[in-house]
Structure 1
Amino acid sequence: MNIIDARVRLPQDQRNSGEYSAPRRQTEQYDRVLNLTEKMNSGSLTGLLAALDGEGVKRAVMHAESEGGEDADQLNIDLRAVLDAHPERFVGVGCVDIANPSPTAVVAQVRRAHELGFVGVSFQSAFFGLDIDARHLYPLYSRAEELGLIVAVHTGITYSRMHPLRHERPEMLDQVACDFPDLNLIACHAGWPWATEFAAVARRHPTVYLEFGALAPKYVAKPGTGWDALFGMMPNVLRDQVLYGSDWPMMQPSRAIREWRDSGLPDVALEALLAGNAARLFGLDKQEGAG
């Protein structure tokens, strides 16, 4: 199985911004739960390549994401440099500055992301006080659909104490999927604590994918943790709409892959999760065929 990591972060040592930093109230719980700041600042491209090589992960989707405070255009330039240096290893998902009050400017960033050769764009609406289905974002969705780009959206819990959870509820992604039926959407982090509802959104819309970055698979597979309905659908009706992602450096691929293999998923579902779905969604199956 040629494992594909559907979500790794642009390493900090490849970012023009230098050290990772954010307001204390935004990071304090992230640091307690995930050790965010230390992991981000210690994350290097050399370390990422070693982590992927250690698990035999041949391809990965690198995200130039930001929780705020970094220039989206510069992050996309930094991401493009990594892709150019490692064209056989990474494809890119760029970021957009949704805090910009001009939807026209955001749409221009989407166009530039397409011109840079990225497969999609991502954003985290809650960190900017925006609902997933905010009218401010609709021009972004429209241009991405027109250009054939994927849109990856943060869903579910954030540990920021500055931003409420309500901005990323499942019915908002459902609305976007209804309004843009040809737009492929990724619900990053798979929407817990609304896992059942996000599973329903994915069941309604074959264009919606659920990605498990930075989550411990052993808890996704454990009864009573709130993942029960979604995990129960992964071997059958949602088998083709789930994506393995480590969200490195938040979680090491070695742990995530080991726990998925121990989760009890049947082999056909495990292959879809770890490889097949990402290959199809990101066009990597066509690249392999061309080679």
Structure 2
Amino acid sequence: MNIIDARVRLPQELRPSPTYAAPRRQTEQYDRVLQLTDKMNTGGLADLLQVMDAEGVGRAVMHAESEGGESAEALNEALCQVLAKHPDRFAGIGCVDVAGVRPTRIARQAASIADLGLLGITLQPAFFGLDIDDRSLYPMYSRAEELGLIVAVHTGITYSRMHPLRHERPELLDQVACDFPDLTLIASHAGWPWVTEYCAVARRHPTVYLEFGALAPKYVARAGTGWDPLFGMMPNVLRDQVLYGTDWPMISPTRAIAEWRASGLPGAALQALMHDNAARLFGLGSPSQ
């Protein structure tokens, strides 16, 4: 199988600051659970390419997301440089300046992202004190829908102790999907602990995809962890709306691929998860190629 990773991060070494840093209350639980700071500061592009080659990951979608304090233009420029050097390995999703959000500005930034040839926009409204359906984001959603851009939104738990969970609730993404019915949305991290509700959002909106970046597949497949409804729907009614992703360097492709293969998913469901859905969504080749 030629695997497509739907979510990897722009390496820290290519960002405006070569060292990852954030407020302690934002990172302390991320570091305990995911070793975020260490992974961000040690994961380089050469390492990513090496593990992709070793694990049969032919393509990856690189996200230039920001959790605050970085210029969207600078991040998008750095992302484009990666794409120019490795056009056969990466596609790109850009970002907008959500901090101090100015609706007209982020709508223009969405248009700039389309002009750069990027596939969409990635954002984490909760890290800026915003709900997913905050009206200040609506001009950006509208422009993205008009231009055919995908929008990937952080959903579910954030380990930051500075940003409340209420910003991530499923009914907020559902509202955006209702208001922009032709906008393709990715629920990044698949919305735990509201798994049943996010399944319902995806089930009623074929424009909504659920992506597993930064999650350990063995827990998704383990009964009683809260993932049961989604894991049960992956071989059938939601098979075409799930995306394999690692959020590298948060989860190693080596671990993620091994755990998905051991999860018990039927072969057709694994093929859809790890290649076909991303190939169709991002235009990265025909299914089963």
Deviation at 1:257, TM superposition (A): 0.5
- Which residue of the partner structure matches residue 137 of structure 1? 137
Q: TM-score, normalised by structure 1?
A: 0.97
Write out per-residue CA displacement over residues 26-65 of structure 1, whole angstroms, 9 at most, x where no aligned residue: 0011011100000000010000001111101010000001
RMSD, matched Cα: 1.3
Q: Distance in 1 between matches of 2:9 and 2:115?
A: 21
Change (3 A) 1:33 1:234: same
The secondary structure found in structure 2 opposite 1:59 is strand
Name the count of aligned residue pairs: 289
CA contact (8 A) 1:80 1:92 kept: yes
Aligned pairs (5 A) from 1:1-291: 1-285=1-285
Q: Distance in 1 between matches of 2:144 and 2:287?
A: 21
Q: Distance in 1 between matches of 2:42 and 2:218?
A: 25
Deviation at 1:287, TM superposition (A): 11
Deviation at 1:69, TM superposition (A): 1.2
Change (3 A) 1:158 1:270: same
Q: Distance in 2 between matches of 1:101 and 1:171?
A: 22
CA contact (8 A) 2:93 2:119 kept: yes
Q: Distance in 2 between matches of 1:225 and 1:287?
A: 31
Q: Which shows bigger deviation, 279-288 or 18-27?
A: 279-288
The secondary structure found in structure 2 opposite 1:284 is coil
Deviation at 1:101, TM superposition (A): 3.2
Q: Distance in 2 between matches of 1:122 and 1:287?
A: 24
Write out per-residue CA displacement over residues 132-168 of structure 1, whole angstroms, 9 at most, x where no aligned residue: 0110011010000000000000000000000000001
Deviation at 1:16, TM superposition (A): 2.2
Q: Which shows bigger deviation, 170-179 or 13-22?
A: 13-22
Q: Distance in 2 between matches of 1:224 and 1:286?
A: 36
Write out per-residue CA displacement over residues 58-114 of structure 1, whole angstroms, 9 at most, x where no aligned residue: 100000011111111100000000000000000000011112331001111111111
AA in 2 matched with 1:192: W
CA contact (8 A) 2:275 2:287 kept: no
Q: Distance in 1 between matches of 2:53 and 2:40?
A: 20
CA contact (8 A) 2:8 2:63 kept: yes
CA contact (8 A) 2:276 2:287 kept: no
Q: Distance in 2 between matches of 1:101 and 1:227?
A: 33
CA contact (8 A) 1:100 1:106 kept: no
Structure 2 stretches of 5 or more lacking a match?
none
AA in 1 matched with 2:164: P
The secondary structure found in structure 2 opposite 1:224 is coil
Q: Which shows bigger deviation, 252-261 or 10-19?
A: 10-19
Deviation at 1:285, TM superposition (A): 1.9
Change (3 A) 1:288 1:216: closer
The secondary structure found in structure 2 opposite 1:183 is coil
Q: Which shows bigger deviation, 97-106 or 87-96?
A: 97-106
Write out per-residue CA displacement over residues 232-253 of structure 1, whole angstroms, 9 at most, x where no aligned residue: 0000000000000011000100
The secondary structure found in structure 2 opposite 1:58 is strand
AA in 1 matched with 2:110: V
CA contact (8 A) 2:11 2:40 kept: yes
Deviation at 1:17, TM superposition (A): 1.7
